[in-house]
A and B are shown apart, each in its own frame.
Chain A
């Protein structure tokens, strides 16, 4: 099995309304795949459906293990680090406590301590802010914290929901550089949802374009980038 993530004919619903109309895609182990699309195309819903956070039908497998219908925490325990939309900072907890919450499922204290050190090599700024209340961090720092928290789960696959949202371009570049390092050094596969298509296509090797809950185009990033329709709609040149 060389695919870390396998999604077949995935449908998802919010109450009575259907948000995903049977999408199919896969993610190669060690790769970075991006889901592009306008607001409401179903990108966030796809990530949530994989994690069992919305009502979903179809087939999802993490590293060959079917997870459709499983509870979120059960999917997470298979090694899926979800960096949620809006960062999901535990605002009243300190930075350190946020990271320790992420190690909730892990009993091996030595490994947790090692991962904490690893996180700080990626984001030294968080080490300086260890004892600070997480709600008082800047937006960029909170995004770093969200990614670090997902890392503390010891993930094989990371689901990143708009890590660039609401951040200054310089910070976004820094965070994307670190994401590449994490992918290469910690061998974490990534499924990236982004509004900023140019940035996402630079980082990812594969891309899927969603429109109203359906995949309308897919391919390697280079192919998607050169498509005229995509260029006009998403890249703006």
Chain B
């Protein structure tokens, strides 16, 4: 009896400490990973192992991670579903592109403006959307995702947006004559933004605001009885979430050197949501995996399908995107809590007893 009880408590204690580990402080290996990522241009660039094209790919992956993180704050930590975050991505991208193209503003200076603009748009959208729950909120945000590209094509905005043609901007050169290519430099810029935004997100989640967000998600009525102003918290969360996605959009515009209404179609919103779910909803690390998924699995699903057909010599012709569907289904079956959740529970099983 006594032994079983001790074992029971130990298991609980271990689960608890694992949880606390996950919540407080950043493990050393994450900092090591960031340091490695920051040195990548030196290692890869000098030796020529990593081409500029791959730096662009990595930058895009990090950009999507920021977007997924933003949606995760809203959906994972606050329980509001959005099918329309591509809209905020587009707003961020256009604010930056217009400021650079028309007002010749320094590209880094456009980032805070794009973020602020998206916060305001997100807050204003979130405010009336408060009345909507679950499916209805999903539908309203869906409408937003459909509407924004049309809005960008609107005739009277053409002096700013250049209509369907979109806006071309140019990649900035690295400052101070640094021995880096523009792609390598922008990769570092994007990486730095992501590190800052992840740290901010972690602090939000563990703050008074973060606890209120999660309380509303878990028990909306009880959250009200804790004196939490749900309406305010939810719309601010919506704004913060839009701010993250807006920054991602702005960075995307800079590294991609181009924005157009059709770059921000409805599929983008879905991609961000899929990234958040696959990575692990309500986890911060899941956003990195989500970004990887959006950039590499989704973008190359078609190519991967063709490649598999050739390699395996399948007797049947696979539809494009077949691999994407299979990967999605397999991941959801094997790791219903997302990849981050799956790894966390795997680690709990194999980790040595302390």
**Taking beta carbons and an 8 Å cutoff, which residues of A are in contact with B?**
51, 53, 71-73, 76-77, 81-82, 84, 87-94, 97, 100-102, 104-105, 131-133, 136, 149-150, 153
- Report chain A residues within 8 Å CB of B226: 76, 101-102, 104-105, 149, 153
- Report chain B residues within 8 Å CB of A133: 15-16, 19
B218 pairs with A90, CB closer than 8 A: yes
A34 to B178, CA, bound (A): 76
B225 pairs with A131, CB closer than 8 A: no
Given known pairs A88-B221, A91-B218, A131-B16, the reply for A73 and B211 (CB within 8 Å) is no
B20 to nearest A CB, angstroms? 6
Chain B: which residue is nearest A87 at the CB level?
A: B222
B221 pairs with A53, CB closer than 8 A: yes
Besides the contacts A73-B227, A88-B219, A90-B219, what 17 more A-B pairs have beta carbons closer than 8 Å?
A: A53-B221, A53-B225, A72-B224, A73-B228, A73-B230, A84-B221, A88-B225, A90-B223, A92-B214, A92-B217, A92-B282, A94-B19, A102-B226, A131-B17, A132-B16, A133-B19, A136-B12
**Taking beta carbons and an 8 Å cutoff, which residues of B are in contact with A?**
12, 15-17, 19-20, 208, 211-212, 214-215, 217-219, 221-230, 282
B227 pairs with A77, CB closer than 8 A: yes
* Interface CB pairs A-B, < 8 A, 7: A73-B229, A76-B227, A88-B219, A90-B223, A92-B282, A101-B212, A101-B226
A100 pairs with B211, CB closer than 8 A: yes
A93 pairs with B218, CB closer than 8 A: yes
- Report chain A residues within 8 Å CB of B214: 90, 92-93, 97
Given known pairs A88-B221, A89-B219, the reply for A101 and B228 (CB within 8 Å) is yes
A143 to nearest B CB, angstroms? 13
B116 to nearest A CB, angstroms? 26
A84 to B211, CA, bound (A): 19
A97 to B208, CA, bound (A): 9
- Report chain B residues within 8 Å CB of A93: 211, 214-215, 218
- Report chain A residues within 8 Å CB of B219: 88-91
- Report chain B residues within 8 Å CB of A132: 12, 16
- Report chain B residues within 8 Å CB of A89: 218-219, 222
B92 to nearest A CB, angstroms? 30
| Total A-B residue contacts, Cβ distance less than 8 Å | 82
- Report chain B residues within 8 Å CB of A87: 222
Chain A: which residue is nearest B17 at the CB level?
A: A131
B299 to nearest A CB, angstroms? 33
- Report chain B residues within 8 Å CB of A97: 211, 214
Residue in A90, A94, A105, A153 whose CB lies within 8 Å of B222: A90
Residue in B16, B211, B217, B225 whose CB lies within 8 Å of A76: B225
Given known pairs A104-B208, A131-B19, A133-B19, the reply for A92 and B218 (CB within 8 Å) is yes
A84 pairs with B12, CB closer than 8 A: no
Chain B: which residue is nearest A100 at the CB level?
A: B211
B19 pairs with A101, CB closer than 8 A: no
- Report chain A residues within 8 Å CB of B222: 84, 87-90
- Report chain A residues within 8 Å CB of B224: 51, 53, 71-73, 76
- Report chain A residues within 8 Å CB of B228: 73, 101, 104
- Report chain B residues within 8 Å CB of A92: 214, 217-218, 282
Residue in B16, B225, B229, B230 whose CB lies within 8 Å of A84: B225
B115 to nearest A CB, angstroms? 26
Chain B: which residue is nearest A102 at the CB level?
A: B226
- Report chain A residues within 8 Å CB of B215: 90, 93, 101
Chain B: which residue is nearest A72 at the CB level?
A: B224
Residue picked from B12, B208, B222, B230, most chain A C-beta under 10 Å: B222
A73 to B230, CA, bound (A): 8
A125 to nearest B CB, angstroms? 13
A153 pairs with B19, CB closer than 8 A: no
A68 to B214, CA, bound (A): 28
- Report chain A residues within 8 Å CB of B225: 51, 53, 72, 76, 81-82, 84, 88, 150
A89 to B228, CA, bound (A): 15
A76 to B221, CA, bound (A): 12
A94 to B19, CA, bound (A): 9
A153 to B227, CA, bound (A): 8
- Report chain B residues within 8 Å CB of A102: 226
- Report chain A residues within 8 Å CB of B12: 132, 136
A131 to B282, CA, bound (A): 18
B212 pairs with A104, CB closer than 8 A: yes
A136 to B19, CA, bound (A): 13
